[in-house]
Amino acid sequence: MDEKAEMRFLFSFLILIFGCYAISSRSEGGFNVKGKIYTTGNEPFVELAIQTDDGKIFIISKNSPVYKELWKNQGALVILEVEKRETKGMEKGKIVVKDFKILSK
């Protein structure tokens, strides 16, 4: 392999790595989720989650402003207004819920 080919390969590889990093670190926000609220996990690591009709599960961040109210509505069918996904720490990947509407209990 000549020097130009090596440089092209290295440049292409770096672009690929940077692209993968940029996509994975992007925070998803501003969407709604409809589903049933429930708890998951075992004590002392119980978490609040929502499962949609198509089976997707989202863990709800404890940093959500309405977390305590959601905890009281376990089993209810709700629509969650999601602010963003957490990007750091123990809450990484979990959704931050800013508001919700109960459809049925």
SS3 content of the chain, % helix, strand, coil (to 5): 30, 40, 30
Predicted model pTM: 0.68
Domains belonging to the chain, first-starting first, are 29-104 (2.40.50)
Q: What is the pLDDT of residues 23-68, one digit of tens each?
A: 554 445 588 999 999 999 998 889 999 999 999 999 999 999 999 9
pLDDT at 18: 64
Q: DSSP letter string over 46-80?
A: -EEEEEETTS-EEEBPTT-TTHHHHHHTTT-EEEE
Q: What is the pLDDT of residues 63-77, one digit of tens each?
A: 999 999 999 999 999
Count Cα neighbours of 6 within 13 Å in the Cβ-side half-sphere. Answer: 3
